[in-house]
Structure 1
Amino acid sequence: MMWRSLSADWLKIRGKGLWFLVFLGPVGLLAMQGLNFGMRYDYLTGEYQSDLWGGLLSNLADFVPVALYLGGTLVCSLLANVEHQMSSWKQLLALPISRTSVFMAKLLICLLLVAVSCALLSVGTVVLGLLLGFGSQPVPYADVLRIGFASYAAALPVIALQLWLSLSSRNQTLPVSLGLTLSLLSLFSTFLSEWVPLSWPALAWSTSRPWLFSGAGLLLGLLVLLPGAVHFARKDVN
């Protein structure tokens, strides 16, 4: 049943701006670093002469948590608004599909869209590095993948919470405001304790044990997801 709901949701998101957001995040980050390195090329290549790829990745990594939180917030909100704006919840939930299947289908679409954005960031990072002339050094493919997907796993609690709030409320002011606030606060995540989930996407890149924070994000994301699905299954919708 969930796959039926999933296929229907794929059709609904066409022309809703979601794919634009998927491309906007990684393209924006890469354009910013392309401009950064382009304007200060001699200085930065001299600074990172021994590890040009590492320098590029470290500059990108500072903004990945912001992009994940903001992008996840907007994707969840737009995905929920497909039903809210059309006032189609009652018709959708009247179909012979369980509410849990509807919730999980929307979660999968949200996660897939953000995953595509992370994949584009990894591919684009390699392309940008080659354009900047870093091809003389071997491409650290493991780190290139980690910069997007390790932080993505660590950000799952916030993305799951955003989807829960977005689907539960017709008024998107609260989830969007919360997402914007968390995005801005993530810029100062280095000052937060490692026990604060907001800091996990940054720690998933910068620490010697990134898997620990990625794994914690996956686990907490699941713990947030379960009550969200139960609440959605029991909530009256308009």
Structure 2
Amino acid sequence: MSPAFFFSLQSEWLKQRKSLASWMVVVGAFFTPAIVVVARLLQHEALPALYAKEDFWSGLWKSSWESAAIFFLPMGGILATTLIAQIEYKNNAWKLVHALPLSLATLYFSKLAIVLLMLGQFFVLFNVGIYLSAVIPPLLVPGVPFPKGPVPLARFLWDNGVFFLDCLPIVALQYAISLRSRNFLTPVGIGFMLWVGTLAALSWRWNFVIPYAYTMIEYLCAWSSAKVATPAVDIHLMALGYFLLFTLVGYALFATRKEKG
């Protein structure tokens, strides 16, 4: 990592700390675990039997990821990426940014790296939230044992890696679109329409060609009986391919744009 890229990355990180996107990451990560805790405390009479199950951790993991895979990851990726990419437009600061002694590649990829770091932050906080949703009820409700059985860390790490990879096309495409538009609502509207269209197309045999579909396909094929067409290709390779394609196209559009802010 060159010194210029490191300082640009540091600058972008300081910017995002004061943005709405940073709060969205925290709230989105803990929302589902908080709902799980509240629901279990309200139905505390069923907790002893639930916590005695050998597959407790797998059941909690599955139920927690449903909302994340279908809603929070796609919509959070759309909103957070757009907010980060639009910081300079919001503050009329692109001309100042381009006046810095930094290459276009440094500007583009340092901001993209911040979005990916925030995505990683969401995954870490979400996993912490899932763990807390498991241990808080036994601390508050007498007679409820702590979860039986070991935490299947290998499986959980694998799932985290897969879902992270499946999010990358959403981030890259939203980033490319957001840098081309001064209006915040335009990239958000495009992302929202693509997300809704993806939901409608999950039963389509060619669902894997839609870059916003991979977190949903992964969850529904692995853990749900919902009607979804099994993809004919490796969706994780498709996700990686789309990410690289959208990143390169986005950079080309950013670098060749005549109006610099």
Q: Under TM normalisation by the shorter chain, which class is it?
A: 0.7 to 0.9
- Among 24, 29, 49, the alignment partner of 2:53 is 49
Deviates more, 1:87-96 or 1:146-155: 146-155
**Structure 2 vs 1, CA of residues 223 and 114 (structure 1 numbering), >3 Å: closer, same or farther?**
same
Unaligned runs of 5+ in 1: none
Aligned to 1:62: 66
Q: Cα offset for 1:229?
A: 0.6
Q: Which one has a larger percent helix, Structure 1 or Structure 2?
A: 1
User: Is 1:8 matched with 2:3?
Assistant: no
In structure 2, how many angstroms separate the alpha carbons of the residues matched to 1:14 and 1:45?
Answer: 43
- 1:129-168 equivalences under 5 Å are 129-133=134-138, 134-168=146-180
Aligned to 1:237: 260
Spell out, residue by residue over 1:191-227, the C-alpha distance to the aligned partner (whole angstroms, 9 max, x if none). Answer: 3445243331133345569xx4334322221111110
Q: Is residue 48–residue 54 contact of structure 1 (8 Å, CA) maintained in 2?
A: no
**Structure 2 vs 1, CA of residues 198 and 16 (structure 1 numbering), >3 Å: closer, same or farther?**
closer
Aligned to 1:96: 101
**Structure 2 vs 1, CA of residues 214 and 131 (structure 1 numbering), >3 Å: closer, same or farther?**
farther
**Structure 2 vs 1, CA of residues 228 and 30 (structure 1 numbering), >3 Å: closer, same or farther?**
same
Deviates more, 1:105-114 or 1:42-51: 42-51
Q: Is residue 147–residue 205 contact of structure 1 (8 Å, CA) maintained in 2?
A: no
Aligned to 1:223: 245
Aligned to 1:171: 183
Identity of aligned residues (%): 27
Q: CA RMSD in A?
A: 2.9
Residues paired across the two proteins, number: 238
Q: Is residue 9–residue 106 contact of structure 1 (8 Å, CA) maintained in 2?
A: yes
In structure 1, how many angstroms separate the alpha carbons of the residues matched to 2:78 and 2:52?
Answer: 34
Q: Is residue 100–residue 232 contact of structure 1 (8 Å, CA) maintained in 2?
A: no
SS at match of 2:245: helix
- Among 200, 214, 218, the alignment partner of 1:200 is 214
Unaligned runs of 5+ in 2: 139-145, 223-229
Q: Is residue 33–residue 132 contact of structure 2 (8 Å, CA) maintained in 1?
A: no
In structure 2, how many angstroms separate the alpha carbons of the residues matched to 1:232 and 1:189?
Answer: 31
Q: Is residue 30–residue 125 contact of structure 1 (8 Å, CA) maintained in 2?
A: yes
Deviates more, 1:43-52 or 1:26-35: 43-52
In structure 1, how many angstroms separate the alpha carbons of the residues matched to 2:26 and 2:218?
Answer: 23
Q: Cα offset for 1:93?
A: 1.2
**Structure 2 vs 1, CA of residues 126 and 189 (structure 1 numbering), >3 Å: closer, same or farther?**
farther
In structure 1, how many angstroms separate the alpha carbons of the residues matched to 2:21 and 2:182?
Answer: 18
Spell out, residue by residue over 1:142-192, the C-alpha distance to the aligned partner (whole angstroms, 9 max, x if none). Answer: 233344432121121111111111111111112111233344556567534
**Structure 2 vs 1, CA of residues 213 and 37 (structure 1 numbering), >3 Å: closer, same or farther?**
farther
Deviates more, 1:137-146 or 1:15-24: 137-146
In structure 2, how many angstroms separate the alpha carbons of the residues matched to 1:61 and 1:48?
Answer: 21
In structure 2, how many angstroms separate the alpha carbons of the residues matched to 1:189 and 1:119?
Answer: 30
User: Is 1:213 matched with 2:239?
Assistant: no
- 1:111-130 equivalences under 5 Å are 111-130=116-135
Paired letter, 2:190: L
Q: Is residue 56–residue 147 contact of structure 2 (8 Å, CA) maintained in 1?
A: no
In structure 1, how many angstroms separate the alpha carbons of the residues matched to 2:82 and 2:155?
Answer: 31
Q: Is residue 29–residue 60 contact of structure 1 (8 Å, CA) maintained in 2?
A: yes
Q: TM-score, normalised by structure 2?
A: 0.79
